């Protein structure tokens, strides 16, 4: 109901809603009206003062006194317009006579009621108060001539008249607030409010946006809006074309928002670009890139997320043809008590409205083979201006009259009963409407009849009154509250992604829509017809009218299944049977642009990056972290650090090819081992606590004994550099730039010199070099990242690839599987951090960062928190339910390439600055 805030009805009795759709109001003249059907003297005695308004398809007289009705003379019924002298002794001067076969009376005593159509020939005389007859009569006659032409010629002539008038109207620069303002751009635009188009001239200056309507319909001749008051700027689709721009303003502005439509997309984009370049502009950071993540985590409500998707899909409260759409979620409107914990109370959200009743669906599908191409299932839409006003008729009656040619619908067909409306949605031959946001917010005043408007009487003699609510709701406000509770329930949350797929996602159009029984008439879809290519003005306007009145399918937002919301009752299972076909899934397309400034970063493309999942007994707090010990014994970047099981020593490997053992107690180096002539990439401490496994760029894996102080064995495991080694439950995983991950079982029952014998179990092949991997705690699932930006998900019980998807434009630096196995976190050399939903492998969050993330650890004890080290030497803790950095600490002068918290809550970090630091948290 936000559109009622901009309702011009509150400004004066005359409204553009009294005109036909797409009709343009030009100008008015002060007049006296002499009522028809009276003698000349009687007419003079009862004359009415008011304004005569010239419009493209009618002439309207608005009396000053509200007890008299507004008179509308549709030009298609007008026989003649001429100057009237009144005879020799007439006291009426400068008069115009209109002879018409139909007069429409509206808003007598300023009461909103159905229009009265008087279809008798009458003569109406108006004397001009200030202007001369020649000032208005030629314009009236020109419009009258246009109304007599065939539709195509009529529209062409009206367009010429409008263009001529508008070209003569220049922006009045005397309205500029500041003489020092610099004019940036001047163009024409239409101000769009529901069912109304008001053309005008738009002026953009260095500090303000001005809109000057071509008519004087508004209370102020020029709308003045400060650039610094703009809080949001959104490009919109209007009539299935990218012509709209919606601007939202702060509370200090004279209007809350402004919806504009332009002649071409280029005109719209030009204004958008110029506004974005102004120094006074200070947009609110909406952080849209994390909305999917926040919704899935339960940070934002189902209602808010659906409003967000509606806005993203160009649905606006200012455009009734693209009003936000919401789902029916409850299907029980007859019980005395509604059980929100009973799934039987809820509608199946995996099916469109038209498919909920199988019998009706079967009848619809019977005629499908006989339909011409392009075929469709449903002859009406789930959202249209008529459906919106069907629900809102009691609070927006004048909009209903505008849409329905001055009449209310038959009383029996109005929104009288929630149960009856639901039944008709299920069984009606052409009723497939969904709900609107008002059913889930506010106090439900649209359900109450205020008693002023007479909507008529039903066949049983009852007048149209309040909407009859289900027995389980005692008042409109309680009805809205219960519906909102149902929308936010776990039962709906588990299903809502299916409805999103139907309305905004991959089942919205094409073959998937047909398979889901979700296919509508082709004109409802964006791109179905190129209106600009239609040369005939009348045909184009006819198409626009169809598009506006029939309904428009939202812009498609997702190309793959939408992720499911996490609920308390959902336990994910990412392991598919080995016989399932290999999936190649692409991330869905959500336009998410980060607002962080781009800066310089330290080049770390030659470093090996570290990922690791650890248990933390209490939440890590960077503000209480202090450096307890540090050493710089390496001659090149540190690539991996590990804490000894007893917490008394640290191990580190480096690109300088050395393994270092450092005593924290004695604060000195205990061992320095030159493993190879090439860089060491990674290391792990085996479960015997005596052996360190080291990966090297010479293609080998080394097993170093702490007890004996030497290399006990060397594994020639790969054909290229070993990039990562991981140890999990007697299993050793080695990743390499040779595009493989190899799996080895370490048999401790067959140990030589205390070293178990590696038994080769198999390899997992990739398309490019593997840079990182992560394994879940039960060793049943693994994810890998490669040089070409791919993320792969593997089933370790069958060594089978569950999914593979491109995520980054360059190499994957780190990838992690969340402890609950619901998400994948990844970062790459493209400076992006991303979150994927495991079940669908769709991208639910992305953020472009100033500094490249080099290492990551999931903090399983930190309620979905992630610890990252970046190329600027900063440690950051992320709340991955919200996609936000909540703490930061400058830890190193170079990139933080590796971290470990495997012993207590002590944090060990290694960096490209060759330094290793031990951090302890104050209690």
* Structure confidence at residue 613 (pLDDT): 46
Note the pLDDT of residue 347. 97
Inter-CA distances, 130 with 30, 40, 127, 134, Å? 7, 22, 9, 12
Which string of DSSP letters, residue by residue, matches 320-345? GGG---B---B---S-SS--TT-GGG
> What is the H or E stretch that residue 271 is in?
helix 265-276
In this prediction, residue 860 carries a pLDDT of: 64
pTM exceeding 0.85: yes
- Per-residue pLDDT, averaged over 772-777, amounts to 94
Q: What is the mean pLDDT of residues 469-487?
A: 98
Band of the pLDDT at 5, cuts 50, 70, 90? low
**CA–CA distance, 606 with 93 (Å, rounded to integer):** 93
Quote the crossing angle between the two packed helices 151-168 and 537-550, to the nearest 10°: 90
Task: Quick: pLDDT tens for 64-120.
Answer: 999 999 999 999 999 999 998 876 446 677 899 999 999 999 999 999 999 999 999
How confident is the model at residue 146, as a pLDDT? 95
* CATH code of the domain made up of 291-550: 1.10.1540.10
Q: Give the residue with greater pLDDT, 646 vs 694.
A: 694
CA-CA-CA-CA torsion sign (348, 354, 359, 364): negative
Assess whether pLDDT exceeds 80 at residue 587: no
Q: How confident is the model at residue 535 (pLDDT cuts 50, 70, 90)?
A: confident
Give the pLDDT of residue 598: 32
Q: By three-state DSSP, how is residue 465 classified? A: coil
Position 906 scores a pLDDT of 85
- Cα–Cα distance measured from residue 837 to residue 296, given in angstroms and rounded to the nearest whole number: 9
Contact 128, 95 (CB under 8 A): yes
The pLDDT, as a whole number, for residue 87 is 64
- Give the pair of three-digit tokens for residue 576: 């598919």
Name every residue whose Cβ is closer than 8 Å to that of residue 666 and which is 6 or more positions away in sequence. Answer: none
Give me the residue label for tokens 């919301």.
565
Contact 602, 894 (CB under 8 A): yes
What does the buried/exposed string (b/e) look like for 597-608 if buried means 16 or more CB atoms within 10 Å of the residue's CB?
eeeeebebeebb
Query: Tell me: the pLDDT tens digits for 793-814?
Result: 999 999 999 999 999 999 999 9
Provide mean pLDDT across the span 884-913: 91
Q: Looking at residue 126, what is its pLDDT? A: 95
Q: What is the pLDDT of residue 533?
A: 77
| Segment among 206-215, 267-276, 386-395, 860-869 with least mean pLDDT | 860-869
Cα(839)–Cα(562) distance, rounded to whole angstroms?
10
Instruction: Give the separation between CA 479 and CA 440, rounded to whole angstroms.
Output: 9
Instruction: Read off the pLDDT of residues 387-418 as tens digits, 9 standing for 90 and up.
Output: 999 999 999 999 999 999 999 999 999 999 99
The predicted structure's pLDDT at residue 545: 80
What confidence category does residue 526 fall into, taking pLDDT thresholds of 50, 70 and 90? confident
Residue 917 has what pLDDT? 96
CATH T-level fold of 2-166 = PH-domain like (2.30.29)
Token output for 108: 């007598």
pLDDT at 893: 97
171-286 shares its CATH topology with 291-550: no
Per-residue confidence (pLDDT) for residue 486, from 0 to 100 = 98
DSSP string for 472-500: T-SSHHHHHHHHHHHHTSHHHHHHHHHHH
- State residue 863's pLDDT score: 55
Long-range CB pairs of 739-746, under 8 A, 24+ apart, other chains included: 739/765, 739/766, 739/767, 739/768, 739/769, 739/770, 739/786, 740/764, 740/765, 740/766, 740/770, 741/766, 741/770, 741/773, 741/782, 741/784, 742/717, 742/718, 743/796, 743/799, 744/715, 744/717, 746/686
CA angle 97, 111, 62 (to 5 degrees): 25
Residues 350 and 519: their CA atoms lie apart, in Å, by 14
Specify the pLDDT at position 581: 26
> Taking the domain 610-921, which CATH number applies?
2.130.10.10
The first and second tokens of residue 265, run together, are: 């997309």
Q: What is the pLDDT of residue 2?
A: 54
Measured distance CA(648)–CA(640) in Å, rounded: 17
How many Å separate Cα 898 from the centre of its chain?
37
Name every residue whose Cβ is closer than 8 Å to that of residue 512 and which is 6 or more positions away in sequence: 506
| pLDDT for 589 beyond 70 | no
| Terminal CA-CA length for the chain | 53
Residue-level pLDDT at 585: 23
154-168, 196-210, 342-356, 729-743: least confidently modelled range: 154-168
Residues 665/622, Cβ–Cβ less than 8 Å: no
Domain ranges of the chain: 2-166, 171-286, 291-550, 610-921
Strand 610-614 and strand 853-859: pairing? parallel
- For the ranges 358-367, 577-586, 693-702, which has the lowest average pLDDT? 577-586
Query: Is the pLDDT assigned to residue 607 strictly greater than 60?
Result: no
Residues in the chain: 923
Q: d(Cα 833, Cα 747) in Å, to the nearest integer?
A: 38
Summarize the confidence of residues 16-30 as an average pLDDT.
90
Say if CB 835 and CB 858 are below 8 A apart: no
% of the chain residues with pLDDT over 70:
91
Q: What percent of the chain has pLDDT over 90?
A: 73
Is residue 249 helix, strand or coil? strand
Residue 276, pLDDT score: 96
Determine the Cα–Cα distance for residues 302 and 295; give it in Å rounded to an integer. 7
Mean pLDDT of the residues in the chain? 89
Model confidence band, residue 179 (pLDDT cutoffs 50, 70, 90): confident
User: Per CATH, the architecture of 171-286 is what?
Assistant: Roll (2.30)
């Amino acid at each position: 109901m936000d559109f009622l805030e901009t309702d011009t009805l509150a400004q004066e009795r005359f409204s553009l809603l009294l005109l036909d759709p797409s009709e343009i109001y030009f100008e008015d003249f002060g007049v006296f009206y002499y009522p028809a059907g009276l003698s000349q003297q009687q007419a003079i005695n009862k004359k009415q003062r008011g304004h005569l308004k010239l419009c493209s398809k009618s002439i309207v007289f608005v009396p000053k006194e509200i007890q008299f009705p507004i008179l509308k003379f549709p030009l298609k019924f007008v026989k003649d317009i001429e100057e009237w002298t009144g005879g020799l002794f007439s006291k009426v001067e400068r008069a115009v006579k209109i002879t018409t076969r139909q007069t429409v009376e509206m808003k007598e005593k300023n009461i909103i009621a159905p229009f009265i159509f008087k279809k008798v020939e009458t003569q109406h005389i108006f004397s001009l108060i200030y202007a001369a007859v020649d000032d208005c009569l030629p314009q009236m006659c020109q419009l009258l001539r246009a109304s007599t032409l065939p539709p195509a010629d009529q529209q062409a002539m009206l367009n010429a008249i409008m263009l001529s008038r508008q070209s003569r109207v220049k922006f009045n620069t005397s309205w500029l607030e500041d003489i020092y303002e610099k004019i940036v751009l001047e163009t024409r635009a239409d101000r769009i409010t529901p069912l109304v188009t008001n053309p005008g001239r738009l002026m953009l200056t260095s500090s303000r946006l001005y809109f000057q309507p071509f008519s004087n319909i508004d209370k102020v001749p020029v709308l003045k809006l400060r650039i610094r008051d703009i809080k949001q700027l959104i490009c919109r689709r209007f009539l299935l074309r990218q012509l709209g721009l919606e601007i939202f303003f702060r509370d200090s502005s004279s209007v809350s928002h402004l919806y504009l439509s332009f002649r071409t997309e280029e005109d719209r984009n030009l204004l958008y670009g110029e506004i974005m370049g102004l120094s006074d502009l200070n947009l609110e950071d909406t952080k849209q890139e994390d909305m999917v993540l926040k919704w899935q985590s339960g940070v934002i409500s189902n209602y808010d997320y659906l409003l967000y998707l509606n806005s993203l899909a160009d649905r606006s409260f200012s455009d009734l043809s693209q009003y936000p759409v919401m789902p029916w979620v409850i299907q029980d409107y007859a019980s005395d008590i509604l059980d929100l914990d009973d799934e039987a109370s809820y509608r199946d959200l995996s099916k469109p409205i038209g498919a909920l009743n199988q019998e009706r669906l079967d009848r619809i599908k019977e005629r499908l083979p006989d339909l011409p191409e392009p075929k469709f299932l449903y002859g009406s839409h789930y959202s249209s201006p008529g459906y919106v006003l069907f629900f809102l008729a009691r609070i927006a009656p004048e909009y209903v009259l505008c849409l329905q040619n001055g009449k209310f619908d038959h009383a029996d067909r109005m929104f009288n009963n929630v149960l009856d409306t639901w039944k008709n949605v299920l069984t009606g031959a052409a009723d497939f409407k969904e709900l609107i946001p008002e059913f889930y917010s506010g106090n439900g005043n649209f359900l109450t009849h205020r008693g002023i408007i007479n909507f008529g009487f039903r066949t049983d003699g009852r007048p149209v009154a309040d909407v009859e609510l289900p027995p389980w709701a005692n008042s409109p406000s309680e009805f809205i509250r219960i519906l909102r509770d149902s929308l936010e329930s776990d039962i709906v949350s588990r299903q809502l992604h299916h409805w999103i797929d139907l309305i905004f996602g991959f089942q919205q159009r094409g073959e998937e829509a047909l398979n889901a029984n979700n296919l509508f008439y082709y004109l409802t879809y964006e791109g179905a017809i190129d209106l600009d290519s239609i040369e005939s003005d009348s045909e184009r306007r006819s198409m626009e009218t169809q598009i506006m009145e029939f309904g428009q399918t939202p812009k498609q937002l997702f190309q793959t299944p939408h992720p499911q919301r996490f609920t308390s009752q959902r336990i994910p299972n990412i392991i598919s049977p080995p016989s399932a076909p290999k999936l190649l899934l692409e991330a869905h397309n959500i336009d998410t642009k980060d607002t962080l400034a781009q800066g310089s970063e330290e080049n770390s493309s030659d470093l090996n990056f570290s990922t690791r999942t650890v248990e933390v007994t209490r939440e890590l707090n960077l503000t209480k972290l202090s450096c307890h010990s540090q050493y710089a014994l390496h001659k090149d970047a540190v690539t991996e650090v590990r804490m000894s099981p007893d917490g008394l020593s640290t191990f580190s490997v480096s690109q300088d090819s050395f393994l270092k053992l450092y005593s924290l107690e004695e604060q000195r180096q205990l061992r320095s081992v030159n493993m190879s002539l090439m860089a060491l990439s990674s290391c792990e401490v085996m479960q015997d606590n005596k052996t360190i496994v080291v990966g090297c760029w010479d293609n080998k894996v080394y097993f170093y004994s702490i007890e004996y102080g030497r290399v006990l064995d060397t594994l020639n495991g790969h054909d290229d550099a070993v990039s990562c080694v991981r140890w999990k439950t007697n299993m050793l995983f080695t990743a390499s730039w040779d595009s493989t991950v190899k799996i080895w079982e370490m048999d401790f029952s067959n140990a030589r010199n205390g070293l178990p014998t590696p038994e080769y179990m198999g390899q997992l092949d990739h398309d490019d070099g593997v840079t990182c991997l992560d394994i879940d705690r039960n060793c049943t699932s693994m994810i890998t990242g490669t040089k070409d930006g791919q993320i792969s998900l593997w089933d370790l019980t069958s060594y089978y690839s569950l999914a593979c998807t491109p995520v980054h434009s360059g190499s994957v630096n780190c990838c992690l599987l969340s402890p609950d196995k619901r998400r994948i976190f990844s970062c790459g050399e493209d400076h992006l951090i991303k979150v994927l939903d495991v079940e669908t492998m769709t991208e639910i969050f992305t953020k472009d960062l100033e500094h490249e993330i080099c290492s990551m650890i999931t903090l399983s004890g930190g309620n979905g928190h992630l610890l990252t080290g970046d190329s600027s030497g900063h440690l950051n803790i992320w709340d991955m339910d919200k996609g936000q950095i909540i703490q930061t600490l400058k830890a190193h002068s170079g990139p933080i390439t590796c971290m470990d918290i495997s012993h207590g809550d002590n944090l060990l970090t290694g960096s490209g600055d060759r330094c290793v630091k031990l951090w302890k948290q104050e209690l």
